[in-house]
Amino acid sequence: MTRDYKHAKKARDRRSTRRRRTDEASTPGWVWLLAGLIIGLLLAGVAYYKDLVPAAPTIVSAGDSKKTPAKTETKNTEAGSAEEAANKKPGFDFYEMLPSFEVVIPEKELDVRRDRERTPVREQGSYILQVGAFQKHADADRVKAKLALMGVESNIQKVSIDRQTWHRVRVGPIRDLDELNAMRAKLLDAGVEMLIIRSGA
């Protein structure tokens, strides 16, 4: 008996194709879509709930920040790192970050007075003479040049107050009271009005 193997292969292919189609049809696409949607909503709900629950407040006294936690050695490195994480006190970066902050103190809060009198200053401290404040740098530079012609060394300080840029023309700081009073007299003789600012003790 002879068999026709040519047509037997086609019959096998038809049967396997039918099997594949029935396997694919067993799980419709909308089921996968619904499952993905439910999983996504559950994850979003967990994340939302996690944000709603406030973290437990930690209270640290000033004395605790100076102490450094003692490290204990353990044979198991994983247990050791977990203990170190539990014993570690919160660190404060305030003293490292402080020098990078620039604080501009408004003129109202400084010891400022308009200098029109010829009475000498008698209080010890560091003083700055502010000759003017201008919104344009060119105006401030013009006043600085005028002072330079008088033999007075000044500088221009750029500050931002209430979202406006100001260029202050300042002389000082001057710590010697005799030098301060002589500088004031020189500027008043030239008709230059100024603010006298006591910047430190």
The class (CATH top level) of 111-200 is alpha beta
- Nearest-CA neighbor of 116 among 187, 171, 19? 187
- Predicted confidence band at 187 (pLDDT cuts at 50, 70, 90)? confident
115, 196 in Cβ contact below 8 A? yes
Q: Residue 43: its pLDDT value, please?
A: 94
Residue that wins the pLDDT comparison between 36 and 61: 36
Q: Residue 73: its pLDDT value, please?
A: 47
* Per-residue pLDDT reduced to its tens digit, 112-146: 455 556 667 777 777 888 888 888 888 888 888 88
Claim: this prediction has a pTM higher than 0.75: no
Q: Is the pLDDT of residue 84 over 90?
A: no
- Report how far apart, in Å, the C-alpha atoms of 184 and of each of 43, 119, 167 are: 71, 10, 21
How far is Cα 66 from Cα 61, in angstroms, rounded to an integer?
10
Most distant CA pair in the chain: distance in Å? Answer: 136
Q: Which helix (H) or strand (E) holds 166?
A: strand 164-174
Which segment of 109-123, 137-151, 172-186 scores lowest on mean pLDDT?
A: 109-123
- Predicted confidence band at 71 (pLDDT cuts at 50, 70, 90)? very low
